[in-house]
Chains A and B, each alone.
Chain A
Amino acid sequence: MKNWLDLKQILVQQNIPEQDIKLTKEFLETLSFDRRQQMMGIFLGWPEKLGFFVDLLKKKKKLAKNYQPELARKILDLEKKEVQDLIKELS
């Protein structure tokens, strides 16, 4: 079982701005209980990636609000690079 307060504590420790913490919480609130627990497990399981996850979340929200092709490409590049790096690690 994952606790938001634990996650919040890590977010604060990592100097994630208040509005981004709020956004993260809003994101989690839209999920079902099980999915939310899973997502918090992901966040808590990889605290070193937390900043990256939050940054992506923020960028996607910004994109949804005001579509900009450059931002869209940037997000996709970030995601692609992450996936590529992970698969490289498998080798």
Chain B
Amino acid sequence: MERFSEIPEFKKIPGEAELREAPEVEEYAESPETPLAKKENLDGFFEKEVPLQEKIGRVLDEITPKKLNNPIVNKTLRLLTAFSIFMGGSSFFAKGVSAEEIEQGLRQPKEAAAELLKTENQPKETEAPGGWKKFIDRFDISVGGIYENLPPFRGGVSSDISTFKNLTQSDFYKDFSRDKYSKAVIAFYNSVRLSDNSADFFQKLDQLKNFTTQQKTLILQNLGTVLNKTYNYDMLENNQMVKISDQAMFQSIKEYLQNGKILPGGICGNIHTFLTKAAKEMGLEAWLQINSRKRTNHIFSGLLTETDKGKQITFLDYNNLISTGTLNYKDALGIAERRMGSITTLNSFVGNETEFLFPVKSRAQEKIEEAAGVTDTGKELEEKLKEGKIKKEKGLTIKLSPETKTIGLTKDYIGLTFFNYENVYNNPYQSLENLNALRGRLNLKGETLSLEADATILHLNLKDLDDGNIAYDEFIGRIAADFIDSHKFNKGEYGQFILNYGASLQTALRLPLGKTAKESTAGLMGEGGTGLRMIYLAPNNIGKFYVGASEIFRGQPRDAQSKDIAVKEAAKSFTVGADIKVREGKILNLEAIKSRLDWGEKLEIRGGLAGEKWRGGLAYEKSSSRYERFIPSAEKTTVAVGYKDGPKWEIDVLGFKADEKYADAENRKIYGAEVKLKIFLW
């Protein structure tokens, strides 16, 4: 009362005294004598609200701008005004009347009262286009492109090793001398003939380290030719994959070369494990690669070869030597796909004789995964931990670049996306000529749990190494399940702590469609992870500080000679960051993420300043690869500027420059730019 009395203008507010003095507003009494009590129905209820509205009205009618200078009075009056509007509006809504009727029915506060809410107020017009707002919340459109200076393709295939003349018709052996050719062929036969067992054989290969790369690859092609002859078709037909000893493989080779008899050895995984060992014995850098051939899952060998033209990644597929002409592994996989006539999405791993290490993706595989909605499990989990909840959105998304067009519509439980890719720049390292995909999504999202199920039908046109066309269809099914929850600790004078925690699981299956389906096998991927983020909200909205950690696991083939699945730790990340209020309406964001990956380490640092309308940010990523042959070390700098015009629309312009460094290769620079426009229809 004392505080109120200090403000002379409020001493005589009509209605105020009555409300304070009366413990109950008498109009609401249930006495049967009161006139309103006789109308015990909905209209009667609304009528009972009227006196209360009028009381508020009388308080508000007394407002003068001068009174608003007192912040406490100002705040209370603002809330009183707001409550008055809400009380009326909610009643009209409950009655189910139209917007026009609500507008007419709501009591308009006087000028000064209206001023109270003005600071929160609104621009005029711009209703969403008729009907759209009922269907989607937002409309996102982005236009962008990526530029990288790609070298022309200078590789090829060497398959015919039957004669020196035939051999030297291929680019790889063009400068090969007859003398070296003869020495290599003799060395191969002698290594087999003069060896009693596999250990002897490898010992003899070890003595050929001073041979040239071409001589070594010719020996391997000869070995591949023989091993191909001893291919164990029973194992293939029985869908078996068993480990075959080096000795058994050697016996098959020797039996065939000495007696011309076929002693079945192994299948692709066994054969190329043996070839990889042989290559290493001769001093070549060699590895194993899961990919596919003619839409059948396949394992072949990879080699680093060096000729007068320099070093390059070369694949050995039995007797076929595929020189890719590049040291960029992603590009090399593209060349392999063109040669093999198929793309092994979800099932492309690199490894050695004892285990597969991690997935490697070609450009085509990345596009197919994008079309099928397959995402980076780790990044998705980080985003959800940041939010602390399951995010639900409905909207229309259009993404355009010279090569890729995506149109997606999401509403509540369902989504539909059309994806088109065209190799408009005729990139030789991109095995896809074009791709069309249609993806349907079922979203089941609750407060803390979500389930996404995608079904994608893809039509691919693959170009072979002669620029011929191979068309086929595939189906990719994807299921992602997430659990995210948040626990708020009691807010005290020193701020508040919030713990966000969750788990993600993503699995996808690729199945062939069409006539060739029976020859084909499926691809499967599975990843899962857990994480948490502790957030500290400083008092008085000074800022938010957080630390977090997450761990991602992946299921993958254990090795080239078994069907076992190994679960490996794919990534472990630690995040620290802050959103600090630097001045009214300006937030400074800082974040650092340090990740230990199965192939190396990555550091991401982001900083940005966001105002009411403008925002800008800078991000820097540095990854250090322990396997630069397959995954590049890289640096990437991204600059972004955004402008937001209230909730109507916002625009972001970003550009990046990246440097990628594969082993023995020159740095490759990649530039990209994108403009994103978000229009909120609601």
Are B19 and A84 neighbours in the complex by a CB distance under 8 Å?
A: yes
Q: Which residues of B contact A69 (CB under 8 A)?
A: 30, 40
Are A13 and B45 neighbours in the complex by a CB distance under 8 Å?
A: no
Quote the shortest CB–CB distance from B411 to chain A (angstroms): 14
Binds A, one of B69-77, B543-551, B620-628, B656-664: B69-77
Are B20 and A87 neighbours in the complex by a CB distance under 8 Å?
A: yes
> Which of B5, B90, B98, B137 contacts A4, CB < 8 Å?
B137
0 or 1 for each of B89-115: is its CB under 8 Å from A? (1 = yes): 111111111111011001000000000
Q: Is B4 an interface residue (CB 8 A)?
A: yes
Give Cα A2 to B16, complex, Å.
32
Are B389 and A1 neighbours in the complex by a CB distance under 8 Å?
A: no
Are A38 and B117 neighbours in the complex by a CB distance under 8 Å?
A: yes
Are B647 and A91 neighbours in the complex by a CB distance under 8 Å?
A: no
Q: Which 4 A-B pairs have the closest CB atoms?
A: A1-B646, A3-B647, A41-B120, A37-B122
Q: Taking CB as reference atom, which chain A residue is nearest B93? A: A27
Are A83 and B80 neighbours in the complex by a CB distance under 8 Å?
A: yes
Q: Is B211 an interface residue (CB 8 A)?
A: no
Are A30 and B99 neighbours in the complex by a CB distance under 8 Å?
A: yes
Q: Which residues of A contact B137 (CB under 8 A)?
A: 4-5
Binds A, one of B123-131, B240-248, B313-321: B123-131
Are A12 and B86 neighbours in the complex by a CB distance under 8 Å?
A: no
Q: Which residues of A contact B99 (CB under 8 A)?
A: 30-32, 35
Q: Which residues of B contact A83 (CB under 8 A)?
A: 19, 52, 55-56, 80, 83
Q: Taking CB as reference atom, which chain B residue is nearest A26? A: B93
Are B52 and A30 neighbours in the complex by a CB distance under 8 Å?
A: no
Q: Which residues of A contact B3 (CB under 8 A)?
A: 91
Are A4 and B41 neighbours in the complex by a CB distance under 8 Å?
A: no
Most buried by A among B76, B83, B388: B83
> Which of B90, B103, B127 contacts A60, CB < 8 Å?
B90
Q: Which residues of A contact B117 (CB under 8 A)?
A: 38, 41-42
Interface size on A, residues (CB 8 A): 54
Q: Which residues of A contact B24 (CB under 8 A)?
A: 80
Q: Which residues of B contact A45 (CB under 8 A)?
A: 78, 82, 120
> Which of B82, B92, B93 contacts A42, CB < 8 Å?
B82
Give Cα A10 to B125, complex, Å.
25
Q: Is B234 an interface residue (CB 8 A)?
A: no
Give Cα A5 to B133, complex, Å.
13
Give Cα A5 to B469, complex, Å.
47
0 or 1 for each of A1-24: is its CB under 8 Å from B? (1 = yes): 111111000001101011000000
Are B102 and A46 neighbours in the complex by a CB distance under 8 Å?
A: no
A63-91, CB < 8 A from B: 63-64, 67, 69, 72-73, 75-77, 79-80, 82-84, 86-91
Are A1 and B648 neighbours in the complex by a CB distance under 8 Å?
A: yes
Quote the shortest CB–CB distance from A8 to chain B (angstroms): 8
B125-169, CB < 8 A from A: 125-127, 133-134, 137-138
Most buried by B among A17, A35, A49, A83: A83
Q: Taking CB as reference atom, which chain A residue is nearest B5? A: A91
Q: Is B640 an interface residue (CB 8 A)?
A: no
Q: Which residues of B contact A13 (CB under 8 A)?
A: 388-389, 486
> Which of B41, B89, B121 contacts A37, CB < 8 Å?
B121
Are B680 and A5 neighbours in the complex by a CB distance under 8 Å?
A: yes
Are A76 and B28 neighbours in the complex by a CB distance under 8 Å?
A: yes
Q: Which residues of B contact A90 (CB under 8 A)?
A: 4, 10, 13, 16, 59, 73, 76-77
Are B83 and A82 neighbours in the complex by a CB distance under 8 Å?
A: yes
Q: Which residues of B contact A57 (CB under 8 A)?
A: 90, 93-94
Q: Which residues of A contact B648 (CB under 8 A)?
A: 1
Given contacts A30-B102, A34-B122, A49-B79, 5 further A-B contacts (CB under 8 A): A30-B97, A37-B123, A38-B122, A45-B82, A82-B83
Are A32 and B19 neighbours in the complex by a CB distance under 8 Å?
A: no
Give Cα A45 to B77, complex, Å.
13
Q: Taking CB as reference atom, which chain B residue is nearest A45? A: B120
0 or 1 for each of B1-29: is its CB under 8 Å from A? (1 = yes): 10111000010010010011000110010
Please list 10 pairs of residues, one from A and one from B, whose beta carbons are closer than 8 Å in the complex, sorted by A's number. A18-B447, A33-B127, A34-B122, A35-B103, A56-B87, A61-B94, A64-B96, A77-B28, A80-B28, A90-B59
Are A41 and B121 neighbours in the complex by a CB distance under 8 Å?
A: yes
Are A91 and B102 neighbours in the complex by a CB distance under 8 Å?
A: no
Q: Which residues of A contact B233 (CB under 8 A)?
A: none
Q: Taking CB as reference atom, which chain B residue is nearest A91? A: B4
Q: Is B49 an interface residue (CB 8 A)?
A: yes
A12-B389, A64-B96 are known contacts. Are A86 and B49 too (CB-CB below 8 A)?
no
Q: Which residues of A contact B90 (CB under 8 A)?
A: 27, 53, 56-57, 60
0 or 1 for each of B629-648: is its CB under 8 Å from A? (1 = yes): 00000000000000001111
Are A18 and B446 neighbours in the complex by a CB distance under 8 Å?
A: yes
Give Cα A77 to B48, complex, Å.
11
